[in-house]
Amino acid sequence: MRADLATSYGEERLPRYTSYPTAPHFSPAIGEGAYAQWLAELPAAASASLYLHVPFCREMCWYCGCHTQIVRRDGLIAAYLRTLRSEIAQVSETIGRRIKVEHIHFGGGTPTIMAPEAFAELMAAMRQAFFVLPSAEIAVEIDPRTLTADMVEAMRLSGVNRASLGVQSFDPVVQRAINRVQSFEQTASVVDMLQRAGINGINFDLIYGLPHQTVASCLDTVRRSLELGPDRFSVFGYAHVPAFKKHQRMIDEAVLPDGLARHDQACAIANALKEAGYVQIGLDHFARPDDSMAVAFEQRTLRRNFQGYTTDKGEVLLGFGASAIGHLPQGYVQNEVQIGAYAQSIAAGHLATAKGHGLTDDDRLRADIIERIMCEFSADLGDICARHGAEAGAMLKSASRLKPLISDGVVRLDGDRIAVAKDSRFLVRSVAAAFDAHLDPAKQLHSRAV
């Protein structure tokens, strides 16, 4: 990876492209009526993935960019879960049949904050409303500091087969600076509990660019994580946006690494994981060579959605809960962000859709190009444009941001095929942004490119 490019491009604020167009471009013009129509129009053979958002935590991690709130009373959680079950039933009734489900993902917040019996009830509600395939991947995001043995047992009995553990950093200085003190021993104990329960798909989430973080502390976190043997890693750069996430103001900006230091940390983590035998997948994932994600990357079937890189091949993602986003062939929908407004909509018998985006033919074309760039570091514009009835030459001409990337050696252009140079792959978001017709560089809504 070239440090000169990290300096030149690293301060750009760009989307992670887990969707296209990205969520800031959703509009209230797409509401409940559009979502209900889209659901009713789903093809009979369609299958779906489910995302359930649980927006509660026991305490706030100051780096957090998620929609979540701190709760002390479990009654608030129980009421929210009742609303969630009602929404599941509403969506299923609107579809008009028990659609097949291949993937379920619980995100947050801290999904395992709910009582074990409540988790079992929620899974039962989903199985009643949808046809959850026996082979379905069921994944849960976990805060190792609060997971109990009873919840692990409830997860086992409910068919959970993948767990994503937030680690971030094992450096105690960094942990104190982000208000997330989590010992190595706590994390190791949770991994052991999960594996004893037969939940063997283990992901670790790491973050670089945190306050006081150094290359040495990043490498120490990787070394200790490797001792626990997860089969996947997600490695994200911290997005410092205190104007949007006020709790991030608790972080001292003076001790945040600059763009070049972030670049060095990202490189060090990536190199250490690759030396340990993990395959680098796209921008920020790493997996063992025999893992299904690594296989999908090798076979060029890897996809990207709101959880990042995925093996999910479906075209339907149904989002449940406050702020949850769904993706259907016709476009994107997002629920009310505020929990109260979300609950009121569902209680009144309405879908909670607050905004969305109806996809145009141009959106679909650019989405395909961006997804291939993000997943494979390359895109055959001739082939993709032909499938959409467009011309590659016109698409290249419209991508004015591509010219400096080609001049700087970030991108190679061979006929209608573009490829990101191996030493510049950390700038893949910059390359994808060249095809983003909605991007407004003046609006600093996203994380830094490096």
Residues 26-43 have pLDDT tens digits of 999 999 999 999 999 999
* Residue 10 confidence (pLDDT): 67
* Residue 247 confidence (pLDDT): 93
* Residue 448 confidence (pLDDT): 56
Q: How confident is the model at residue 440 (pLDDT cuts 50, 70, 90)?
A: confident
Architecture of domain 19-320 in this structure:
Alpha-Beta Horseshoe (3.80)
Mean pLDDT value across residues 291-315: 92
Write the DSSP assignment of 330-385 as a string of letters.
TEEEEE-SSHHHHHHHHHTT---EEEEEEPPHHHHHHHHHHHHHHHHSEEEHHHHH
The share of the chain scoring above pLDDT 90, in percent, equals 87
Task: Assess whether pLDDT exceeds 70 at residue 446.
Answer: no
Write the DSSP assignment of 427-446 as a string of letters.
GHHHHHHTT-TT--TTS--S
Q: How confident is the model at residue 1 (pLDDT cuts 50, 70, 90)?
A: low
Mean pLDDT value across residues 378-399: 96
Mean pLDDT value across residues 350-365: 98
* Residue 441 confidence (pLDDT): 64
426 SS3 class: helix
Domain 1-18+361-450: top CATH class: mainly alpha
Q: How confident is the model at residue 237 (pLDDT cuts 50, 70, 90)?
A: very high
Residues 158-180 have pLDDT tens digits of 999 999 999 999 999 999 999 99
Mean pLDDT value across residues 437-444: 74
Q: How confident is the model at residue 445 (pLDDT cuts 50, 70, 90)?
A: low
Task: Assess whether pLDDT exceeds 70 at residue 254.
Answer: yes
* Residue 444 confidence (pLDDT): 52
* Residue 442 confidence (pLDDT): 60
Q: Give every CB contact of residue 420 below 8 A, 6+ residues apart in sequence.
A: 373, 377, 378, 410, 411, 412, 427, 428, 431
Residues 79-109 have pLDDT tens digits of 999 999 999 999 999 999 999 999 999 999 9
Task: Assess whether pLDDT exceeds 90 at residue 308.
Answer: no
Please check whether residue 342 is in contact with residue 81, taking contact to mean a CB–CB distance below 8 angstroms. Answer: no
* Residue 13 confidence (pLDDT): 77
Which residues lie across from 448 on neighbouring strands?
Answer: 13
Q: Give every CB contact of residue 360 below 8 A, 6+ residues apart in sequence.
A: none
Mean pLDDT value across residues 194-203: 97
Report how far residue 319's alpha carbon sits from residue 329's, in angstroms, rounded to the nearest whole number.
14
| pTM, rounded to two decimals | 0.93
Q: How confident is the model at residue 307 (pLDDT cuts 50, 70, 90)?
A: confident
DSSP conformational letter for 27: B
Average pLDDT, the chain: 94
* Residue 280 confidence (pLDDT): 94
Report how far residue 9's alpha carbon sits from residue 401's, in angstroms, rounded to the nearest whole number.
12
Mean pLDDT value across residues 364-384: 97
Domain with CATH 3.80.30.20 in the chain: 19-320
Please check whether residue 242 is in contact with residue 299, taking contact to mean a CB–CB distance below 8 angstroms. Answer: no
Task: Assess whether pLDDT exceeds 70 at residue 443.
Answer: no
* Residue 126 confidence (pLDDT): 98
Copy the structure tokens of residue 252: 């001292």
* Residue 417 confidence (pLDDT): 97
Radius of gyration, CA atoms only, the chain: 21
H-type helices in 130-242, by residue range? Answer: 149-157, 172-177, 184-196, 215-228
Domain with CATH 1.10.10.920 in the chain: 1-18+361-450
Name residue, tokens 């009979």.
44
Q: How confident is the model at residue 8 (pLDDT cuts 50, 70, 90)?
A: confident
